[in-house]
Structure 1
Amino acid sequence: MYETEDIAVVILNWNGQDLLEIFLPSVLKYSGDAKIYVADNASTDKSVDFVRSYFPSVHVIQNSENGGYAKGYNDALQKVTEPLLCLLNSDIEVTNNWLNPIIDVFNADENTAIIQPKILDYKQKTHFEYAGAAGGFIDKYGYPYCRGRIFNAIEEDNSQYNDIKDIFWASGACLFIRNSVFKKLKGFDVSYFAHMEEIDLCWRAFNSNYTTKYVGTSTVYHIGGATLKNSSPKKTYLNFRNSLFTLVKNTDSNLFIRTIIRMLLDGIAGIRFVLQFKPQHFVAILKAHGSLYLNLGRLIKERKLLPNRSNYYNTNSIVWSYFIKKRRKF
């Protein structure tokens, strides 16, 4: 049976001293006997010195380069031996008793490999936060959405998701995973750099018959966009590119038709950006599609090495549901 001392809370940092100053104290205050790590992605600020000076109980892992979220965690977690891992963003405030409900679920179900708590908005604590909300799902064409957040429609938290439920993907903002499963799945796909890599990981876990759960009795607060703003064309590029990578690698036998329809839908999104006078985001989508073509051979090779299951999606098209049927809640 797991206890809090079996958890490693690993915070990936890159030039984030200001965030560590604000949020690391809550992690130390409310995490009991859990072992706290800061995995530093070759920061050029004073982050590492700050942690060592003011939080000597925190273990620092220094990566040799800034490999983004995916490689950063892959490199750092090779040095972590605790059986349960919590990958925690540096811009998250945790709450009293946040770990015990997670431990209880891991102890109750051996097949549960990944868990996400309730993620609320640090700036508006009555509402869910974009990156994860109350647990992630995916549609037929690889578009992700959440309970509590569909595209940019974010729900108020009225205790409607204070449950424990199977989900499809857990947010990388606060993702718990068994160390053995992380290693079995060979961690994150480092080609992603950042964004969507947790969905790829959860999809591979799903295809390997593991379960991902949402535990709404554990709550954290997330700023969101502290590293890369939603207005950034780079973020648009990474989200569209990595989503296509994930679909090609993991979807069922209807790969060709799903990918074609998905790319057409992306084209509509690109036109929408043009109409909104955001041409850089339109170009970002074009670059994302170009990157898919350049990497298609590698992705197909990886796909052949992975199992896949056909019943992965929760709805046929969340794009249709949101933009045509005006669905705004899960």
Structure 2
Amino acid sequence: MTSTVAIVILNYNGRHYLEKFLPNVIRYSGNHEIWIADNASTDQSVEWLHSNYPSIKILKIAENKGYAGGYNEALRQVSSEYYILLNSDIEVTENWIEPVINFMASDVNIAACQPKILAYDLPTHFEYAGAAGGYMDYLGYPFCRGRIFDTREEDLGQYDDEKDVFWATGACLFVRSAAFHQASGFDESFFAHMEEIDLCWRLLNMKYRITYCGKSAVYHVGGGTLHKSNPRKTFLNYRNNLVMLFKNLPKGRRWKTVFIRLVLDGISSVRFMATGAWPDVIAILRAHFAFYGLIPSLIKSTKRTNYRAPLYYRSVVWEYFILGKHRFRQLTGINPPTIPKS
């Protein structure tokens, strides 16, 4: 019999996080199924789980396929109406599931939803990965209600609402299983980083809704697998951002956008040079050349849709760094994504 909700935690050498945060997941998740999908960990995570939580369902993945490939393989084996993709470095709270599931159940067009994401290290403030729901400007720069670049807002109840957004974070992603599989899941070529934004963009183009539910809150450590200063993370973020834009932008806009991003990424490299972060400069160069090598296959494989998911048609870089707008409410003319009329 298909369960209503399955919580799936993808683990890669995260035993220390499982030891710290899994007890609360069990405590506050009622009778919902909990699965651990292990991405070929080498830190005895699986052995520890067998010894301490023998009732937890474990899916062993033969090799580390990253966030995208790991979850795709795991979710093919999990039968449930809703999936909750939960990072191992998340501290959940009491009643974190029901408000989101009830909201999603109110409209079959809601494909994905995220709760409020607060910072584990600073619980009064929003966390970088998702905050109160994600947006993206027309040049591919993601930002959130509650977090724009390095500025995190204090949680004062200003985002305790339910709202349509452009993307929901993969750190704690509630997703309708039928929609996930209809969209063919994550793009495994991403490996990790921005795959959830790409998935949300595709779901929007399929006329689904992506939402945020502020009635639920969790706390995120962040950087559990790759720290933000890791050049590997820099490479994946820059490469995957370009791939995502090329895949999802209208044909007439993608080349212009990629050219502008080439210029802006060059400026970003100069900023890294100024701080002596040469590995990150090399990572950005590698990301661009990797993307250029993928263009022929992207042209062949990219599908076009009649509906174009809405972006923020101003530059969040300009508004943040030049105009000094560091809070979401200061941004000009931003509107939530809406479902077009049939």
Does the TM-score normalized on the shorter chain lie above 0.5? yes
Output the CA distance in 2 between the equivalents of 1:173 and 1:142.
20
Q: Map Cα deviations across residues 215-270 of structure 1 (whole Å, 9 max, x no partner).
A: 01000000001111111111111101100010000012311111111221111111
Q: Is 1:126 aligned to residue 124 of structure 2?
A: yes
Instruction: Give the counterpart of 2:66 among 55, 65, 68.
Output: 68
- Aligned to 1:84, the other structure's residue is in SS state strand
- Which of residues 102, 105, 124 in structure 1 aligns to 2:103? 105
Q: Distance in 1 between matches of 2:71 and 2:309?
A: 29
Give, in whole Å, the separation in 2 of the partners of 1:83 and 1:76.
15
Work out the CA distance in 1 between the residues paired with 2:128 and 2:18: 21
Cα shift at 1:134: 0.5
Q: Helix, strand or coil: the match of 2:175?
A: strand
Count of matched residue positions in the alignment of Structure 1 and Structure 2: 326
Tell me what 2:30 maps to: 32
Measured at CA, do residues 56 and 41 of structure 1 come closer, stay the same or move farther in structure 2, by a change above 3 Å? Answer: same
The residue number in structure 1 matching 2:298 is 299
Mapping of residues 247-258 of structure 1, within 5 Å = 247-252=245-250, 253-258=252-257
Cα distance in 2, alignment partners of residues 308 and 323 from structure 1: 34
Gapped regions of structure 2 (runs ≥ 5): 329-342
Runs ≥4 in structure 1, deviation > 6 angstroms? none
Identify which of 175, 189, 192 aligns with 2:190.
192
Identity %: 51
**C-alpha distance in 2 between matches for 1:228 and 1:53:** 27
Give the aligned partner of residue 157 of structure 1: 155
Mapped contact 1:251–1:308 kept (Cα < 8 A): no
CA distance in 2, matches of 1:178, 1:52: 29
2:269 matched to which residue of 1? 270
Amino acid at match of 1:54: N
Output the CA distance in 2 between the equivalents of 1:262 and 1:231.
Answer: 21
In structure 1, how many angstroms separate the alpha carbons of the residues matched to 2:36 and 2:262?
A: 38
C-alpha separation between the residues in 2 aligned to 1:221 and 1:306? 37
| Preserved CA contact (<8 Å) 2:205 2:308 | no
Q: Does 1:143 align with 2:141?
A: yes
Is 1:81 paired with 2:79?
Answer: yes
Following the alignment from structure 2 to structure 1, what is the Cα–Cα distance between the partners of residues 177 and 25?
A: 20
Distance 2:84 2:244 in 1: 22
* Aligned partner (choices 303, 320, 323) of residue 321 of structure 2: 323
* Alpha carbons 2:205, 2:309 under 8 Å: kept: no
Q: Which residue of 2 aligns with 1:55?
A: 53
Q: Aligned Cα RMSD in Å?
A: 1.2
Counterpart in the other structure of 2:15: 17
Quick check: 2:243–2:291 contact (8 Å CA) kept in 1?
yes
Structure 1 length-normalised TM: 0.96
Give the structure 2 partner of residue 173 of structure 1.
171
Q: Aligned equivalents of 2:258 and 2:45: distance in 1?
A: 42
CA distance in 2, matches of 1:306, 1:59: 39
CA contact (8 A) 1:164 1:215 kept: yes
Is the Cα–Cα contact under 8 Å of residues 117 and 216 in structure 1 kept in the other structure? yes
Could you tell me which runs of 5 or more consecutive residues in structure 1 were left unpaired when the two chains were aligned: none
